[in-house]
Structure 1
Amino acid sequence: MDALLRDGEGRVLLVDPTYKPDWDLPGGMTESNEPPIEGLRRELTEELGLRFPGPLALVCVDWVGPHGPWDDSLMMIFNAGTLTADQAAALRITDPELAAFEFRTPEQAQQRLRPYVWARLAAAITAADTGTVAYLHNGHPVT
């Protein structure tokens, strides 16, 4: 599960994980028997020092079919809203799993992210802005 977090200028928060070559959204995997929202809150605190008390609204579910050695999975993005200037300034890397973080415009985020992650994020942004939930299969909308 990942977070859609924006700053006051509407830029999206991206992170640079040390364990893979590409940028991503903040978030991660849940632990055994951990609800997705609680796992996301934990990941935001562990990786960026962000104790996020605000509401988290599901904006995207993407079913990713089996690929390579992996089974299928459900990827979720929760809208975590807009960080205040003070919250954004207080972000710190608090986990060696991250090398960097940055706020980027959607156009800049598209350049940083793998195409399927960008497709998921673009659907999440649209859903967050329209008050809906996007349902995808392998990054493509299901109608």
Structure 2
Amino acid sequence: MRPAPTDTDAWNAYLAEGNAKQARKRVSADVVLRDEAGRVLTVNPTYKDGWDLPGGMAEANEPPDQAAVRELREELGLTVTIHGLLVVDWVSPHGPWDDQLAFLFDAGTLSPALAATLRPHDDELSEALFLPAPEAAARLLPRQRNRLRAALRALGDGRVRYLRDGTEPGRFE
């Protein structure tokens, strides 16, 4: 029997039971960060193959934008301001991983002085490079490449993109 909402303790226990049965999503939060020449920051992780955009995985109950800021501070010693959301990509289960929501944010443009001194600050990254967008995209794995391309379109027209496995759906049914 469902308790009455006026019985606060019983109602909260009922809601907690329902919450425990809900799906949990992994969340990643990356950024598009450019230099004054318009080049895109890419990073080379030490723990996986291929290059990536800067950012990483959100911790439990951490907002995605704050996760991106935290990851850049930890990995690059850089404090960024998030200027807006560019892309949300639903990633289907693959390998040992459940599905995921991947957020890609606009972190603006880095000053020439900061861009010139940018270096990895922990052992998760071996390199950090600003590259022209086509070269940056070519270094990324296909799903990240598609996210970057969608993000660059979003920067151009101001419209946030929704992707499924790195692809913009043609229409929703």
Question: Does the TM-score normalized on the shorter chain lie above 0.5?
Answer: yes
What is the correspondence of 1:92-103 to structure 2 with a 5 Å cutoff? 92-103=119-130
Counterpart of 1:133?
A: 160
> 1:17 aligned to 2:40?
no
Please state whether the residue corresponding to 2:163 is helix, strand or coil: strand
1:104 aligns with: 131
Residue 80 of structure 1 is matched in structure 2 by 107
Closer/same/farther in 2, CA of residues 55 and 28 from structure 1, 3 Å limit: closer
Report if aligned partners of 1:17, 1:98 keep a CA contact under 8 Å in 2: yes
Output aligned runs, 1:18-57, within 5 Å: 18-52=46-80, 54-57=81-84
Match of 1:117 in 2: 144
The structure number with the bigger radius of gyration is 2
Paired residue type of 1:15 = V
Point out 4+ residue stretches in structure 1 off by more than 6 angstroms.
none
Moved more, 5-14 or 105-114: 105-114
Structure possessing the higher relative contact order (Cα contacts under 8 Å, 6 or more residues apart): 1
* Pairwise CA RMSD: 1.1
Give CA deviations for 1:34-66 in whole Å, capped at 9, x if unaligned.
1111111110110011012x3331100000111
Displacement of 1:21 in angstroms is 1.2
* Alignment pair present for 1:71 and 2:98: yes
Q: How many residues align?
A: 142
SS of equivalent to 1:89:
helix
* Unmatched tracts of structure 1, length 5 or more: none
Alignment match, 2:14: none
Deviation, 1:90, is: 3.1
Identity of aligned residues (%): 51
